Amino acid sequence: MKQNILSKAGLFILLVAMLSSCSKWIDPDMNINPDAPTVVPMDLLLPTIEARFAYNIVQGNDGQRTLSLWIQHMTGIARQSQAEGAYSFRAGDANNNWGSVYSGVLMDIKQLVDMSKQEKTKSTQFEGVGKILKAATIGYASDLWGDIPFSEALQGDENLKPAFDSQKDIYASIQSLLDEGIYLLKNPDAKDVFTLDGDIIFGGKADKWIAAAYALKARYALHLSKVNNDAYTKALDYLENAMDGASGSAYYYYADGNNNNANPLFLFMQDRGDIRVSDVMIDGLKATNDPRIVVYANPIGDTLVVDDVIYPPGSYVGAPAGVPLDGASTPGSGIASSNTKTPIITFTEVKFIEAECKAKTGDEDGAKDALKAAVAASLNEYGVYNEGWVDTVYNVKVDDLSGNALYEEIMNDKWVALMYNFEAYNDWRRTGLPKLTPNPVASGKEIPRRFPYPTDALTYNPNTPQGVSIWDRIWWDK
């Protein structure tokens, strides 16, 4: 017994000695998991930001799906989508979107920009792209909610109740961030350690990011057409340096056949599938024999009877707002295949911006040329360019237009071209075009003009504006 006690005592003393000197002989990095680093390298952080921005924000099912119902690109035929299409959208429905902006994308961008400024990881390119993506993210958030936290946001425990900046100030910040991003990308520092690796959108090409930033400047200048008299001329000035062809369009690309990295609308249709292409969209495409119908919608598989009209299999049938027409056409491959890319800012949108601005500044010939180029770019974008239709149908129609008829054509055609795109909602709020009839099931209510502030913000931040409804207007939507 005594011997056992002594043996145990000796082992204890040896263990204490070993532990007390472990720092001298144990590698301090041995307990660091290389698969879970405390600091994510910038070439891994950037594609994560791009993926979150595209998937959760630009075309996220908690945002864009709802807006597509309001703008009548789509119709909800069951469950949540049917309710939201009838304008039932509450504060709790906005939580995920708000979280994606603040605790998701903006927080990651802050980490990226902070790292890009450090001596050991310095990179003006990463910093520049980070600021461009930050501008686009706060632009998206402000267009949904108006006033949002910005100047005091993202401070963690140091400020859990940030003030809300006015949308007017937010828009000034958007332009400043884009200018800063452009400057940084144009003027790389000799002390830079890293180049722009990991970039999914442009493959690290700084010149394409610069052109996209100018296009974004034009977009956000145009948003202010109701409140700034020089919105159209400013937008045209910015377009001078924007992309001049489809190869400059900014997209986020998804992996082929990989459901872990697939288009969000594709996954939504697989999981829930309670939306259909609207009758407003389908009927408009059919009326003009528009080639995009085959990529915007899928033909019906079974015979469908609507208002005593019999539609055979292979027909394209849209769902009217408020009607749960399950057999109507589902979203097509151009917007809802597994690898359908998410548009950030495209050459198609740039040409439509040019067309609108020239129409509003008196250059009708220039507006017509830009409009024709915009529609051609859209057809090419979806791989359905039809020279005969363009030359003998569309362009002939445009040549005969002028004045308000020309302007309405521009905005209506842009609504078609920006299928399932947030900018169609922004355009409708600015212009009232296309002229849409509110969902008849919504008891006489108008189409909503914004998102409500989320319950998380209302509950935890006393600075959150109170009593805001989805029918209130944001600052630039006078």
Print the SS3 string covering 425-436. HHHHHHHCCCCC
User: Whole-number mean pLDDT of the chain?
Assistant: 92
Does residue 428 lie in a domain region?
no
User: 3-class SS at 305?
Assistant: strand
Give 319's strand partners.
Answer: 278
> Which contiguous run of DSSP H or E holds residue 455?
helix 455-460
Does residue 196 lie in a domain region?
yes
Does residue 25 lie in a domain region?
no
Specify the CATH number for the domain of residue 128: 1.25.40.390
| pLDDT score at 261 | 86
The pLDDT of 429-439, averaged and rounded, is 97
Q: Any idea which residue has 């299409």 for tokens? A: 85
| pLDDT score at 444 | 81
Closest CA to 49 of 3, 113, 97: 113
Flag whether pLDDT at 181 surpasses 80: yes
Lowest mean pLDDT among 9-18, 67-76, 372-381: 9-18
User: 3-class SS at 346?
Assistant: coil
Helix pair angle (422-431, 124-145), 10° resolution: 50
Lowest mean pLDDT among 51-65, 70-84, 161-175, 246-260: 246-260
Flag whether pLDDT at 18 surpasses 90: no
CA dist 286 and 309 (Å) reads 16
Does residue 121 lie in a domain region?
yes
CA of residue 237 relative to chain centroid, distance: 24
CA dist 412 and 428 (Å) reads 9
What is the reported pTM? Answer: 0.91
Flag whether pLDDT at 420 surpasses 60: yes
Q: What are phi and psi of 11, to 5 degrees?
A: -65, -40
Does residue 380 lie in a domain region?
no
Does residue 409 lie in a domain region?
no
The pLDDT confidence band at residue 207, using thresholds 50, 70 and 90, is very high
| pLDDT score at 5 | 33
Does residue 80 lie in a domain region?
yes
Helix %, strand %, coil % of the chain (to 5): 55, 5, 40
Tally the domains of the chain. Answer: 1
Comparison of pLDDT for 404 and 444, the residue scoring more:
404
> Which contiguous run of DSSP H or E holds residue 277?
strand 275-277
CA dist 423 and 429 (Å) reads 10
Angle at 296 between CA 470 and CA 66, to 5 degrees: 15
Flag whether pLDDT at 12 surpasses 50: no
Decide if 184 contacts 124 (C-beta within 8 A): yes
Decide if 346 contacts 376 (C-beta within 8 A): no
Give 310's strand partners.
Answer: 305
Cα atoms found within 13 Å of the Cα of residue 350, Cβ hemisphere only: 27
In the chain, the percentage of residues whose pLDDT exceeds 70 is 91
| pLDDT score at 258 | 67
- The DSSP line for 354-397 is HHHHHHHTT-HHHHHHHHHHHHHHHHHHTT---HHHIIIIIHHH
Flag whether pLDDT at 373 surpasses 70: yes
How many other β-carbons are positioned within 10 Å of the β-carbon of residue 298? 18
Residue range of the domain that includes 239: 42-253+442-460
The pLDDT tens digits of the residues spanning 267-326 come to 999 999 999 999 999 999 999 999 999 999 999 999 999 999 999 999 999 999 999 999
Q: Any idea which residue has 């204890």 for tokens? A: 12
Lowest mean pLDDT among 121-130, 229-238, 260-269, 376-385: 260-269
Flag whether pLDDT at 105 surpasses 90: yes
The pLDDT confidence band at residue 241, using thresholds 50, 70 and 90, is very high
The pLDDT confidence band at residue 99, using thresholds 50, 70 and 90, is very high
User: 3-class SS at 102?
Assistant: helix
Does residue 326 lie in a domain region?
no
What's the one-letter identity of residue 182? I
